[in-house]
Amino acid sequence: MQDNEYLIPWDKNSIDVKYTEVLILGSGIAGLFTAINLSEKYEVTILTKKNIMESNTEHAQGGIAVALNLEDSPESHYGDTIKAGGGLCNIDAVKILAEKGPNCVRKLIELGTQFDRHDDMLDFTTEGAHSRKRVLRAKGDATGGEIERALVEKVRNSSVQVKENYFVIDFIKNNDNEVIGALVLDNNCKMEAWLSKTVIIATGGLGQLYKHTTNPAVTTGDGIVAAYRAGAELMDMEFIQFHPTALLIPGVPSFLISEAARGEGAKLLNSQGKRFMESIPGQELAARDVVARAIWEQMKTGTVYLDFSYINSQKVQERFPKIYKTCLQYGIDISTTPVPVGPAAHYIMGGVKVDNSGQTSLVNLYACGECACNGVHGANRLASNSLLDGLVFAEMITEKIKQETRPLPRWGDAKSFTNHVKSNKRYKTDVERIRAELREIMWDRVGIIRNTEGLSDAYARIERLKEVYVPRVKIPELELGNMLTLGSIIVKSAFERQESRGGHYRSDYPEPLEDWRKHSVYKKGEKNVSYVAI
């Protein structure tokens, strides 16, 4: 597997070319909100991997954190975010998040999002590491779905063009190293080139690299790794957040059990039916990395459960209807029976390195949402800050792009790539086997607790998997190529950070160290990870 600028060879003389002023990849909260904001001034096209509703946004349960409660303030939200971030937050980005958040959420409400209310007032709840009730929710535990519904409805009634079942392969550049568009597979698996003045990556995360994840099937990191191949810098790729509580039943897909459950009073029990978080500051509402590791430790001796019986049974069904119905399908009535839970890969704090306006290190290429990293989440994202991140920095991108003027690029300036080193391998890639092995490696060796031996083993095994990978123009194989590349990058970043901080925990370096209070930066063609001081 070669570390090329493009994943597969292509010839610009045999590709259909499309044009749009603004090209947005992804249809979660970040992509949709950006599209809505820009559609009054520009011709905007969204390309999305599956249907427009399929994203991490739609799967978000807990809510969106924002300082709109009269008893709250942006300053308090700022402080909680910094504290959760393990000393690695971009202070300016956190200020932007906390201060611009309220107005962005008001816009969300104006666009038709119906958050839960009590006595006609917005109803706020508490989640882990928040010092105030500041988390808005919708339909109990279906916040992401309600936000997605409202934004999709607005987009469908706007001038925004939406193309579903489009897969981004790579970014197209000109001879000046500027991004001028994207190479994609259309809904008939035919290769197309989309050229635009501005390209915005909003493709979400990479949870599918892990055996256990709360993320949907589309999250294979395609936008992140396409930016890497194009030469964009990646930042903080070692910081993966593992949600403490996902449904854990053998043979059953991981399903998120919202942190809001613990916010409402649900308690964690070990295999003996005893609580084990009482001695830990914050108890069940400690930061996610703390709770995840505590559960992981208890799982060595048996199953861990989340007990909803501490909450009134009627309230359980009203407050968590989605969780209640899902668990009932598997024979568990959460209002009376503790739920078996365990950690699962949930969110990456790292991603494509961007400034506070969403600009990547490549001209004309922007990123926002989970695929982007400006350091706002530091080493550990504060619960329910992800949806707000998508909103606020979509707004920042909008403000930046509206200040720019540039012509549509010319197809004649595009650089194609036809000189891949040809493989003498005659066999097809065993996609399912390699993908399953990669996910096992990442979970066992690059998961909640890491060490030198495990990371070294993971890197060697992933490199061996790359040797038998032969790319073809088929989406499962292209996804696998992306996942293998990202696996190596995460392992390398985790290996070189010799400390523990937030979502990155090393059993051989168990303490955070002041000398490591810096962001990791990785770029294609560079042998080692570099670092930028806070």
Assess contact for 348 and 370: CB atoms under 8 A: yes
Assess contact for 264 and 319: CB atoms under 8 A: yes
108-112 — which CB contacts under 8 Å span 24+ positions? 108/33, 108/64, 108/147, 108/150, 108/151, 108/391, 111/36, 111/150, 111/151, 111/154, 112/150, 112/153, 112/154
Q: How far apart are CA 277 and CA 304, in angstroms?
A: 12
- Produce one character per residue of 185-222: b if its CB has 16 or more CB atoms within 10 Å, e if not: bbeeeebbbbbbbbbbbbbbbbbbbbbbbbbbebbbbb
Edge to edge, the sheet with strand 240-247 lists 240-247, 339-348, 304-307, 267-269
Assess contact for 40 and 504: CB atoms under 8 A: no
Tokens linked to 144: 């992401």
Backbone angles phi, psi at 303, to 5 degrees: -75, 145
The verdict on whether 288 is a catalytic residue reads yes
HSE-up of residue 109 (Cα within 13 Å, Cβ side): 17
Q: How far apart are CA 212 and CA 253, in angstroms?
A: 8
Burial class (CB in 10 A: 0-12, 13-18, 19+), 525: exposed
Q: How far apart are CA 416 and CA 418, in angstroms?
A: 7
- Residues 6 or more apart whose Cβ sits within 8 Å of residue 289: 86, 241, 242, 380, 502, 503, 505
Tally of CB atoms within 10 A around 454: 21
Q: What is the DSSP letter of 412?
A: G
Q: How far apart are CA 123 and CA 178, in angstroms?
A: 46
Tokens linked to 142: 């279906």
Tokens linked to 120: 């006609």
Helices (H), 310-377: 313-319, 321-329
Distances (CA, A) of 425 to 146, 224, 417: 48, 28, 21
Edge to edge, the sheet with strand 234-235 lists 372-373, 351-353, 234-235, 518-522, 530-533
Radius of gyration, CA atoms only, the chain? 22
Catalytic residue among 288, 445, 501, 506: 288
Helices (H), 362-418: 386-401
- Residues of the chain by 3-state class (helix, strand, coil), percent to 5: 35, 20, 45
Q: How far apart are CA 126 and CA 133, in angstroms?
A: 5
- List active site positions: 288
